[in-house]
A and B are shown apart, each in its own frame.
Chain A
Amino acid sequence: MAVTALQAPRRRVAPRIRTARAFSFHARISLPLALYTVFTIIPFYWVVLFAFREPSSNSWLPFPITFDNFVFVWQEVGYEFFFWNSVLVGVLTTVATLALALPSGYAMARYRFKGKRAFTLALLCTQFIPGAMMLIPLFQIFNSLGLINNLLSLAIADTVFSLPLAIMFMTSFISKIPFELEEAAMIDGCSRFHAFRLAVLPVLGPAIIAVGSFSFIGAWNNFLFALMFIQTQQRFTLPVGLSYTMGEFGVNFGVLAAGGIVAALPVIIIFAFIQKYLVQGLGAGAVKG
Chain B
Amino acid sequence: MTRMIADDLGVAAPVAAAAVDQPPRPPRRRRTWRRSAAPWLLLSPVIILSAAFIVAPVLSVFWNAMFERKLTEPWNDAFIGLEHFRFMFFEDPKFWPSLGFTAQWVLVEVVLQLVFGLIIALVVNEAFRGRGFWRALVFSPWAISGVLTTAIWILVYNPGTGIFRLLAELGIGDGRQAVLVDPDSVFWAVVMAELWRGVPFFAIMLLAELQSAPKELYEAAAVDGAGRIKRFMHVTLPHLKTAIILTTLLRGVWEFNNVDLLLTMTNGGPAGMTTTLPLYVAQLATQAHDFGYGSALTVFAFLILLIVSIVYLKLTAFSREED
Would you list the 9 A-B pairs with minimal beta carbon distance, nearest first?
A221-B145, A137-B57, A289-B16, A282-B208, A285-B1, A107-B42, A271-B143, A283-B208, A111-B39
Cα separation A288 to B28 with both chains bound (whole Å): 27
Smallest beta-carbon distance B99→chain A, Å: 14
**For A245, what are the chain B residues with a Cβ–Cβ distance below 8 Å?**
151
Q: A29-B126, A47-B152 are in contact. Are A112 and B54 (CB under 8 A)?
A: no
Q: Which segment of B19-27, B81-89, B106-114, B217-225 sits at the interface? A: B19-27
> How far, in whole Å, are A117 and B166 apart by their CA atoms in the complex?
55
Residue contact A133 to B298, C-beta cutoff 8 Å: yes
**In contact, B148 and A135 (Cβ under 8 angstroms):** no
Write 27 A-B pairs (CB below 8 A) sorted by A numbering.
A5-B130, A6-B128, A9-B127, A43-B153, A43-B155, A104-B42, A108-B39, A110-B22, A110-B24, A126-B54, A127-B250, A131-B257, A132-B259, A135-B282, A135-B285, A160-B49, A163-B49, A171-B4, A187-B27, A221-B146, A223-B260, A224-B259, A253-B161, A275-B136, A282-B205, A282-B208, A288-B3
| Residue of A130, A175, A224 with most chain B CB atoms under a 10 A cut-off | A130
Q: Is the interface of A mostly helix, strand, loop or mixed?
A: helix
Chain B residues near A175: list those with CB within 8 A: 20, 22
* Beta-carbon contacts under 8 Å, B149-184 to A: 150-156, 158, 161-163, 166
Interface residues on A, range: 35 or more
Stretch at the interface among B58-66, B90-98, B315-323: B58-66
> Which A129-144 residues sit within 8 Å CB-CB of chain B?
129-141
Q: Which of B146, B148, B302 has the most CB of A within 10 A?
A: B148
Which listed residue (B207, B281, B309) contacts A279, Cβ 8 A? B207
Q: CA of A162 to CA of B143 in the docked complex: distance in angstroms?
A: 15
Q: Which chain A residues have a beta carbon within 8 Å of chain B's beta carbons?
A: 2, 5-9, 25, 28-29, 32-33, 36-37, 39-44, 46-47, 49-50, 58, 60, 100, 103-104, 106-108, 110-113, 116-117, 119-122, 124, 126-141, 156-157, 159-161, 163, 167-169, 171-172, 175, 179, 183, 186-187, 192, 217, 220-224, 227-228, 239-240, 242-243, 245-246, 253, 256-257, 259-260, 263-264, 267-268, 270-272, 275-276, 278-289
Most chain A C-beta atoms within 10 Å of own C-beta, residue among B129, B263, B285: B285
Contacts A137-B57, A289-B15; is A43 near B156 (CB within 8 Å)? yes
CA A127 – CA B8 in complex, angstroms?
Answer: 15
Of B58, B129, B150, B205, the residue contacting A137 (CB under 8 A) is B58
| B60:A140 contact, CB within 8 angstroms | yes
Instruction: Tell me which residues across on chain B come within 8 A of A267, comparing CB atoms.
Output: 143-145
Contacts of B231 in A (CB 8 A): none
- Asked whether any CB of chain A lies closer than 8 Å to the CB of B75, the reply is no
- Nearest CB of chain B from residue A58's CB, rounded to whole Å: 7
- Contacting residues, chain B, for A159 (C-beta < 8 A): 49
B64 contact from A107, A137, A168, A283, Cβ within 8 A: A137
The reply to whether B50 and A136 form a contact with Cβ atoms under 8 Å apart is no
State whether A227 and B286 are in contact (beta carbons under 8 Å apart), knowing that A138-B57, A268-B143, A289-B18 are contacts in the complex. yes
Interface membership of B101, Cβ < 8 A: no
Q: Are A167 and B285 in contact (CB under 8 A)?
A: no
Does B209 have its Cβ within 8 Å of any Cβ on chain A?
A: yes
Q: How far is the CA of A264 from the CA of B138 in the complex (A)?
A: 15
Known: A33-B123, A133-B302. A156 touches B204 (CB 8 A): no
Given A183-B25, A264-B148, CB of A168 within 8 Å of CB of B5 = yes
Closest chain B residue, CB of each to CB of A143: B71
List residues of chain B with CB within 8 A of the CB of A239: 145-148, 260
A168 to B6, CA, bound (A): 12
Residue B72 at the chain A interface, CB threshold 8 Å: no
Q: A275 vs B305: C-alpha distance in the bound complex, in angstroms?
A: 30
* Cross-chain contact A282 with B204 (CB below 8 angstroms): yes
Q: Is the Cβ of A246 less than 8 Å from the Cβ of B154? A: yes
